[in-house]
Structure 1
Amino acid sequence: MKREYYCPCCGLFFWHNQYQQNGERIECVGAQCPNPECESQEAPSDYMLFAVDTFGFAYFAEANKEDIDSKKWSSPKYAPENAIEIYRKQGFKIV
């Protein structure tokens, strides 16, 4: 199952596979920003990511709307095509 995330460091909205099969076990895989140019690549544990479908992101987005709107972006490299179409309609920069 993929889940949508937001990186407040670089503004990327991306999708991440939450689980992976490891032999007979299914393990939860922690997300980190996949943007190689993001500052969070230096020390991922120093930066927070938000799962977009959480109350935490809703509160963060309400309090930081201008910042999010000024730097929100995505790419077909980081999100499925149907999400990219929605992002375009919402005014995201697509690279």
Structure 2
Amino acid sequence: MEYQYPISMDWSTEEIVDVIRFYEAVEKAYEKGVQRELLMDRYRRFKEIVPGKADERNYCSQFEEVSGYSPYRTVKKMKEEKNAVIKM
């Protein structure tokens, strides 16, 4: 797919890479499934970079708008289910 990931120009290169890795884990959950531990690690790092709920909602909504994949629903499923693989 061709779209731009929502990022902040205030983030360091490392932070941008880590946020994109989280978005990629969400994509993978929809496309073929993702290891729960990997998704959890990526989400934890995302929350270090985007600690505020309002900012998280904003970036996740922007990502869902351009990709069609919901980080919110993916993380919710990750928290509710204890399966080794999260598949949307």
TM-score relative to the length of structure 1: 0.29
Task: Flag the structure with more relative contact order, 1 or 2, with Cα contacts below 8 A and sequence separation at least 6.
Answer: 2
More helix by share: 2
TM-score relative to the length of structure 2: 0.31
More strand by share: 1
